């Protein structure tokens, strides 16, 4: 039985760019969580240098997710992340 392989990208920015190519641009705002998970799981450097955040826009119930790798935002198109208060962060283990 053949096994499935997945491509691994050099960094989160490259993985994030691939996600944008796979899905229509007009729906990207709704795809922040799948995009962050895709980016984190397919980036070679995320395990050592990355954090996935989920934040809330208070006092509303709006949520947003994003990835920071090597101290930089992985998504060059994401202009709204700064408005959200992080309520959860995820990394691959203790540092």
Predicted confidence at residue 7, as pLDDT, reads 86
Structure confidence by residue, pLDDT tens digits, 44-83 = 999 999 999 999 999 999 999 999 999 999 999 999 999 9
Give the mean pLDDT of 21-38. Answer: 87
Q: How far apart (Å, rounded) are the C-alpha atoms in residues 9 and 43?
A: 5
- For 49, phi then psi, to 5°, come to -130, 20
């Amino acid at each position: 039985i053949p096994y499935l392989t997945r491509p691994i990208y050099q960094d989160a920015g490259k993985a994030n760019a691939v996600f944008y190519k796979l899905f229509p641009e007009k729906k990207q705002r709704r795809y922040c969580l799948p995009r962050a998970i895709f980016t984190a799981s397919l980036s070679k450097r995320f395990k050592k240098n990355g954090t996935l955040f989920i934040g809330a826009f208070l006092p509303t119930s709006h949520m947003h997710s994003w990835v920071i790798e090597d101290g930089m935002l992985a998504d060059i198109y994401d202009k709204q992340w700064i408005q959200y208060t992080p309520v959860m962060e995820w990394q691959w283990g203790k540092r």
